[in-house]
Structure 1
Amino acid sequence: MANVDGQWDCVTKTPMGEQKSVFTVVSNGDSFTGSNAGPMGTLDVIDGKVDGDTLSWKMELKVPMAMVMDATATVDGDTLKGEVKLGAFGVAPMSGTRKA
């Protein structure tokens, strides 16, 4: 199993521009908890799952509009790549690097 735990400096390329955040992952077997914190607030990880080096989770956005986002990412060493499904707004690529 990959080492997915840690804090990740991430960028998500949304229709509203690049959104920078710090994604925190704390795994426990095949699940994980954490958060994604950016300038517009912090979103908690909901239903976080770990499958080898792949993470999947949901986040509930309340501002500027209510939306549940589905996300997946793959960890490769100190890099993370994935995508966030933004409801009717499509899919936004997400990438990150592990904080030292």
Structure 2
Amino acid sequence: MTQLLPLTDQDIAQALSQTLNNWSYVSQRLIRKWHTKNWLESMAVVNQISIIAEKEQHHPNLTIKYSEVIVELYTHDINAITRLDVILADAIEKDIQGIIN
């Protein structure tokens, strides 16, 4: 499956500059942090990410704090960033905008 091939650093840099400009690439992971108003808003973000992840059948690591949500994406099967991670990050980015003001 071509989607399970690791992306090159150039591919990742291109995705970050074009569609994922709020994400960062740290230690072979795509990372995004959202600062929220409170616990309930954090949970709303996590719940929405869960729905998107299930739809895509690709699941991120999530860290939930009172007023912060951290998403860490990589393809666990090959321990690298793949097209699946970019697709999921883009879907999350577009959908979460409606939750956090």
Structure number with higher relative contact order (C-alpha < 8 Å, ≥ 6 residues apart):
2
Larger Rg: 2
Structure with greater helix percent: 2
> Which structure carries more strand by proportion?
1
